[in-house]
Amino acid sequence: MMPPPPSGTINDQYRTAKPKSIREVPAYIKNVVGETADRMFYILKLVWEANKSILFVMSFMTLFNGVMPVVGSLIGKEILNDLARAYNGELTDFKIITTLLILNFAYLLFTAVVARIYATVNRISGEIVANHIKVKLMTKAKEVDLASYDSPDYYSKLENANREAARRPVEVLSAAFSIISTVISIISYIIVIAAIGAVPALLIIAVAIPSTVVNFHFRKKNFNYLFLRSKSRRQLNYYSDVMVNKDLVKEIRMLGLADTFIGKYNTVFADYFKGLRRLMVQECGWTIAATLLSTVVNCVLFVKIAQGVFNGAYEVGNYALYTGALTSIANGISTLITTTASIYEGTLFINNMIAFMKEEKKIVPSIDPPRQIVRGKHTVEFRGVSFCYPGTKKNVLENISFTIEPSDSIVLVGLNGAGKTTLIKLLMRLYDPTDGVILLDGHDIKEYDVQQLYNIFGIVFQDYGKYAVTVKENIAFGEVMKDLNQTEVETAAGHSNAAAFIEALPKKYETPLMRYFEDDGKELSIGQWQKIAIARAFYSDSDILILDEPTASLDPLAEQEIFNQFEALRTDKSSIFVSHRLSSATTASKIVVLKDGKIVEIGNHRELMEKHGEYYILFSTQAKRYTTPADAPDVPPEGPPAGFPPPSAGMHTP
């Protein structure tokens, strides 16, 4: 037996507990039917939102597909009976048979044309609904808290929703309508076969029960297996994507990692496929057994009907009608079983989308209506702020308290892992503190409208985005809410020192970047991309400017030049700068030194150098790298040694 999904997983809220006794079976069935109906309603709502006409077309085809097979059987019966009468000399006018044959082929042509049209409409509908769902998923993704992206459970929701939800709704809805068609056909054939009694029809229905049990059992097991192995599928996708990632192909080739990742892929697939194959083989065996039982019963019934024709109880055409009716009932029951099972399985997969769409957003205003932000100068205060990432217990930041005054120039200093980037994420409310409070202009930032809060920040992250659009669009992404202004784009590029290489590109600012879509797409160096990212910050009309190590791939002089540009252009705005090169810190009004998630020092360059503390050690150690002698002494508090960027380069001591 397959183990149930672990508790706490995304589908727990939709999963009905299995019955522990016979008395619990009716309630279990009722709950399963109710849950499936709820999911079907959700699917109907999705399709209705995408295109209302889809449901009307499906409704028409439901009636058409339910009635037309019976019409065809009745025409076939009349043809055979008339041929038999003609053979016996009872019918001499061949025009009657000709008319029936023409009618039969008109019926076949009509049903074939309608089926072809419906198949085309179904494919078009699938694309429309898939697009609608993709847009819904993307729209939801833009609202989901950043903390969700730290959770493997979130990625399970996203992976399953993306993998299944786009194609499942139309499939499930088509299957549901086909069930109605099948029921109409079965009822019609039962009426036809009533001439020889109800027992044959009841036998056909009875032998379908084992197939029903088998199908539902293995649909559930299949769903549980795929759900539990979501991690394996993500691993398979990751290993295959790594092998074709254009940014990694050089390193993979040079380090000889290709066979390693192919090996990892094969190992995961072998383990994943082993369980899946076992399920397939088990289902095949039980299905063959159920089919054997059904075949034996059909054989007995066909012999009985043939005996009736032999004894003169039925006409030859009636043999075709009755046996065809029994076959159609059997096939209809089989279709009902497999289709109902596939609907049940499909609606289980829809749970993934429902769970994803219900992902709770926690970064919301704490008051209603939210407080509005007045654009301009701001004061920010951290009061006893601590933070640990979701799912962890260790604080990344602990008891952080300091104030950013209007027009302050702040530099965050510390080794990797000190908590600098996390502090910035808290400031922008991408996360909420575990403890403590962050005040903006005297009020908790949780009270403000979230989008308004984001709009006051102009930021360049250390892991900035590289977008496969034109140079102009890449820069204008810094302020997407305003109309694109070519002059401002070029000015921003000038401030970030990007203008020179942009002007040298084939289409200048209209040059497409990256070779994802365009043959003439331009691949930039890391340093050029950083200048584009910094140009975004210059393009934005923000109140607080933040640079989170965006110049790591630039040489020290280029970094200092950009920092000077930032200082000159920020006017009265507050700015926060994170850099491992401490030359930039010398002009800051306030330096915040972080170590192991705690603030160990705050002050300006001169004050901290005079303390001979953590900042002094970091600055002195780094400064020695810029001196000519290998054994140069520590930097004195008065300023940097010879060879270190001088005050004229923007490193004057406050």
| The most confident of 258-262, 399-403, 412-416, by mean pLDDT | 399-403
User: What rounded mean pLDDT belongs to the chain?
Assistant: 77
The reported pLDDT for the residue numbered 11 is: 42
The whole-number average pLDDT for the span 546-560 is 68
The reported pLDDT for the residue numbered 332 is: 75
Which is nearest to 426 in space by CA: 407, 441, 444?
A: 444
542 or 156, greater pLDDT? 542
The whole-number average pLDDT for the span 418-438 is 89
Which is nearest to 60 in space by CA: 181, 179, 186, 185?
A: 181
Domain positions in the chain: 33-357, 380-456+542-649
- The whole-angstrom separation of Cα 626 and Cα 509 is 37
- The whole-angstrom separation of Cα 145 and Cα 147 is 5
- The whole-angstrom separation of Cα 198 and Cα 554 is 86
Above 70 in pLDDT, residue 648?
no
Q: What is the band of 171 on the pLDDT scale with cuts at 50, 70, 90?
A: confident
- Sign, Cα dihedral of 556, 558, 562, 568: positive
- What kind of fold does domain 33-357 have according to CATH? ABC transporter transmembrane region fold (1.20.1560)
The whole-number average pLDDT for the span 190-213 is 71
Phi, psi of 435, rounded to the nearest 5 degrees: -140, 160
Above 90 in pLDDT, residue 444?
yes
Residues 6+ apart with CB under 8 A from 482: 541
Q: Which amino acid is at 179?
A: I
Token output for 288: 């063959």
Peptide bond before residue 433 is cis, with ω within 30 degrees of 0: no
| Chain centroid, CA 317 distance in Å | 57
DSSP class of residue 109 equals H
The reported pLDDT for the residue numbered 443 is: 93
**Exposed/middle/buried for residue 391 (C-beta within 10 Å: 0-12, 13-18, 19+):** exposed
Contact predicate 457/573, CB 8 Å: no
Q: What is the band of 8 on the pLDDT scale with cuts at 50, 70, 90?
A: very low
Above 50 in pLDDT, residue 164?
yes
Contact predicate 486/472, CB 8 Å: yes
The reported pLDDT for the residue numbered 20 is: 55
Which of 134-143, 424-433, 635-644 is least confident? 635-644
Residue whose tokens read 């308290």: 401
Residues 116-130: pLDDT tens digits? Answer: 888 888 778 878 888
Above 50 in pLDDT, residue 250?
yes
Q: What percent of the chain shows pLDDT beyond 90?
A: 6
CATH code given to domain 380-456+542-649: 3.40.50.300
Which residues is 577 bridged to in the sheet? 411, 547
Q: What percent of the chain shows pLDDT beyond 70?
A: 78
Q: How many CB atoms lie within 10 A of CB 274?
A: 9
Q: Is the pTM of this model over 0.85?
A: no
- The whole-angstrom separation of Cα 639 and Cα 609 is 9
Q: How many CB atoms lie within 10 A of CB 459?
A: 22
603 or 338, greater pLDDT? 603
Phi-psi region for residue 370, left (φ > 0), alpha (ψ -120 to 50) or beta? beta
Token output for 268: 């995961």
> Do 33-357 and 380-456+542-649 have matching folds?
no
Contact predicate 73/324, CB 8 Å: yes
3-state SS assignment for residue 505: coil
Q: What is the band of 246 on the pLDDT scale with cuts at 50, 70, 90?
A: low
CA distances from 99 to 67, 78, 96, 310, 345 (A): 21, 11, 5, 29, 46
Q: 192-203 in b/e burial notation, b at 16+ Cβ within 10 A? A: bbeebeeebbeb
The whole-number average pLDDT for the span 547-574 is 68
The whole-number average pLDDT for the span 8-14 is 40
β-pairing, 590-595 vs 409-413, is: parallel
**Exposed/middle/buried for residue 649 (C-beta within 10 Å: 0-12, 13-18, 19+):** middle
- Sign, Cα dihedral of 506, 512, 515, 517: negative
How many helices and strands, by DSSP H and E, does the chain display?
Answer: 20, 10
Residue whose tokens read 């989308």: 353
Q: What is the band of 636 on the pLDDT scale with cuts at 50, 70, 90?
A: very low
- The whole-angstrom separation of Cα 533 and Cα 548 is 11
